[in-house]
Chain A
Amino acid sequence: MAKLTISELQKLREKLAQERQTREGNARGQIIIHMGTCGIAAGARKVLTALLEAMDKQNVRDVIVSTSGCAGMCSKEPMATVQLPQQAPVKYISLNEEKIVRILNEHLLQGNVVKEFALAVGSERMG
Chain B
Amino acid sequence: MPYRLHMMVCAGTGCVSNRSLELRDALSAELARRGLDKEIEIVTTGCNGFCGVGPILLVQPDGIFYQKVQVKDVPLLVEEHLVKGRPVKSLMFTPPEAKEPVPRMRDIPFFGKQMLVALRNRGMIDPEKIEDYIARGGYQALAKALTTMTPKQIIEEIKASGLRGRGGGGFPTGIKWETCVHAHSEDGVRYLVCNADEGDPGAFMDRSIIEGDPHSVIEGMVIGAYAIGAHQGYIYVRHEYPLALKRFMIALDQAREYGLLGKDILGTGFDFDIEVHRGAGAFVCGESTALMASIEGRVGEPRAKYIHTVEVGLYNKPTVLNNVETFANVPVIIERGAKWFASIGTEHSKGTKVFSLAGRVKNTGLVEVPMGLSLRELIFDIGGGIADNGKFKAVQTGGPSGGFLPEDLLDLPVDYEKLYEAGSMMGSGGVVVMDHTSCMVDVARFFVDFLQSESCGKCTPCREGIKAMHGILSRICDGKGSEADLATLEELCSVVADTSLCALGGSAPNPVLTSLRYFRSEYEAHLQGKCPAGVCRALITFRINDKCTGCHLCFKACPTSAVLGEPKQMHSIIQGKCIKCGACYDVCKFEAVTKE
A interface list, Cβ under 8 A from B: 1-6, 9-10, 12-13, 16-17, 19-20, 22-27, 32, 35-36, 48, 52-53, 55-56, 61, 64-69
Contact = CB atoms under 8 A, between A and B. Distances in A.
A8 B60 CA distance: 28
A54 to B, nearest CB: 10
Contact of A69 (B86, B132, B135): B86
Contacts of B337: none
Contacts of B2: 19, 22, 52, 55-56, 61
Interface string B266-310: 111000000000000000000000000000000000000000000
B82 A9 contact: no
A62 to B, nearest CB: 9
A64 B61 contact: yes
Contacts of A25: 60-63
B3 A22 contact: yes
B266 A9 contact: yes
Given A13-B135, A24-B60, A65 B4 contact: yes
A5 B139 CA distance: 11
B132 A35 contact: no
A107 to B, nearest CB: 17
A1 B63 CA distance: 34
A68 B84 contact: yes
A69 B134 contact: no
Contact of B61 (A9, A22, A52, A53): A22
A52 B39 contact: yes
B45 to A, nearest CB: 10
B60 A6 contact: no
A17 B84 contact: no
A17 B136 contact: yes
A4 B259 contact: yes
B8 interface: yes
Given A9-B266, A22-B5, A35-B84, A16 B134 contact: yes
Nearest to B106: A25
Interface string B111-148: 00000000000001000000110111111100100110
B298 to A, nearest CB: 36
A61 B2 CA distance: 8
A17 B135 CA distance: 4
A19 B3 CA distance: 8
Contacts of B338: none
A68 B60 contact: no
Interface in B157-185: none
A25 B6 CA distance: 10
Main secondary structure on chain A at its contact with chain B? mixed
Q: Which of B5, B132, B135 is the most central at the interface, judged by chain A CB atoms within 10 Å of its CB?
A: B135
Given A17-B136, A23-B43, A4 B260 contact: yes
Contacts of A20: 6, 132, 135-136
Contacts of A6: 143, 146-147, 266-268
Contacts of B259: 2-5
A104 B490 CA distance: 74
A35 to B, nearest CB: 6
Contact of A1 (B39, B82, B136, B257): B257
A61 B267 CA distance: 32
- Give the top 7 A-B pairs by smallest Cβ distance, nearest first: A3-B259, A68-B85, A16-B135, A69-B84, A65-B4, A5-B267, A25-B61
B258 A3 contact: yes
B264 interface: yes
15 contacts: A3-B258, A5-B267, A6-B143, A6-B147, A6-B268, A9-B134, A17-B135, A17-B137, A20-B6, A22-B2, A23-B8, A64-B61, A66-B4, A68-B85, A69-B84
A23 to B, nearest CB: 5
Contacts of A10: 140, 143
Contacts of A52: 1-2, 4, 39
Nearest to B123: A23
A19 B5 CA distance: 12
B581 interface: no
A36 to B, nearest CB: 7
A67 B83 contact: yes
Nearest to B254: A1
Given A19-B135, A24-B61, 11 more contacts: A1-B258, A6-B146, A6-B268, A9-B140, A12-B134, A13-B135, A16-B134, A20-B6, A25-B60, A35-B84, A66-B5
Nearest to B85: A68
Contacts of A56: 1-2
Q: Which of B4, B124, B131 is the most central at the interface, judged by chain A CB atoms within 10 Å of its CB?
A: B4
Nearest to A33: B85
Interface string B1-28: 1111110100000000000000000000
A81 to B, nearest CB: 9
A23 B6 contact: yes
Contacts of B4: 22, 52, 64-66
Contacts of B258: 1, 3-4
Nearest to A22: B61
A66 B82 CA distance: 7
B219 to A, nearest CB: 12
A9 B60 contact: no
Contacts of B82: 67
A52 to B, nearest CB: 5
A69 B85 contact: yes
B550 to A, nearest CB: 50
B260 to A, nearest CB: 7
B266 A64 contact: no
Nearest to B143: A6
Contacts of B84: 35-36, 67-69
B194 to A, nearest CB: 23
A20 B124 CA distance: 10
A3 B140 contact: no
A55 B6 CA distance: 16
A36 B79 CA distance: 11
Contacts of A48: 39
Contacts of B8: 23
A115 to B, nearest CB: 24
B406 to A, nearest CB: 41
Interface in B242-270: 257-260, 264, 266-268
Contact of A66 (B6, B85, B134, B267): B85
Contacts of A2: 259
A3 B146 CA distance: 16
Nearest to B147: A6
